[in-house]
Amino acid sequence: MPEVEVGTVTHYYGHINVAIVQLTDNLKVGDNVHIKGHTSDFNQEVSSMQIEHKDISEAKAGDIIGMKVLQKAHPHDKVYKVTP
């Protein structure tokens, strides 16, 4: 399936399984993403996003979001939106 880069992980908080992502494109809850880096490589559906601790359903390019992740992510990992 085609993938479009939508952002980069800047931080990861392991105790709450949240990746901080600097977006370069739009993203919304329900989108399927692929997170890939030197040691990370997994797909998941976006189930939860926040900006400044407030739940949001969509974010736009330039936003810095917190996104719940299923596996460990690392700074500089790329985030791709998987399109059908």
Average pLDDT over residues 16-26: 98
Q: Which residues pair with 33 in a beta bridge?
A: 44, 81
pLDDT at residue 59, rounded to an integer: 98
Q: Is the pLDDT assigned to residue 1 strictly greater than 90?
A: no
Cβ count near 73 (within 10 Å): 26
Average pLDDT over residues 12-35: 98
pLDDT at residue 52, rounded to an integer: 96
Q: Is the pLDDT assigned to residue 84 strictly greater than 90?
A: no
C-alpha 75/C-alpha 10 separation (Å) is: 5
pTM of structure: 0.94
Domains and CATH numbers, the chain: 3-82 (2.40.30.10)
